[in-house]
């Protein structure tokens, strides 16, 4: 079971509403796929930095990371 409501890249590429908007805007499927994959690659390092930051704050405060509020 998925923990998030975010679409995967393959789900976004198959989504009928996204397909309609892409057609209306003249966006090619391959271009959109490349954009999503590039964004995903750039996003990965940032996610680990945020996780490390939250863990550092939690360790400093002496609490368990899942109990730390995060507004990221």
pLDDT along the chain (72 residues), means of 10: 76 95 94 92 65 67 55 52
pLDDT at 42: 83
Domain residues for the domain of 41 are 9-67
Residue 12 CA to chain centroid, in angstroms? 12
Please report which helix (H) or strand (E) contains residue 39, including its range.
helix 29-61
**Tokens 């996003």, located at residue:** 43
pLDDT at 25: 94
Closest CA to 29 of 40, 41, 13: 13
Give the span between the Cα atoms of 8 and 71, in whole angstroms: 23
Domain count, the chain: 1
Residue 32 lies in a domain: yes
pLDDT at 6: 84
Residue 3 lies in a domain: no
Residue 72 lies in a domain: no
pTM for this one?
A: 0.54
pLDDT at 14: 94
Non-local CB neighbours of 19 within 8 Å, separated by 6+ positions: none
């Amino acid at each position: 079971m998925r923990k998030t409501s975010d679409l995967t890249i393959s789900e976004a590429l198959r989504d009928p509403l996204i397909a309609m908007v892409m057609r209306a805007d003249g966006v090619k499927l391959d271009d959109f796929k490349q954009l999503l994959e590039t964004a995903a690659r750039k996003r990965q390092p940032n996610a680990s930095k945020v996780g490390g930051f939250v863990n550092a704050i939690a360790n400093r405060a002496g609490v368990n990371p899942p109990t730390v509020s995060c507004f990221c």
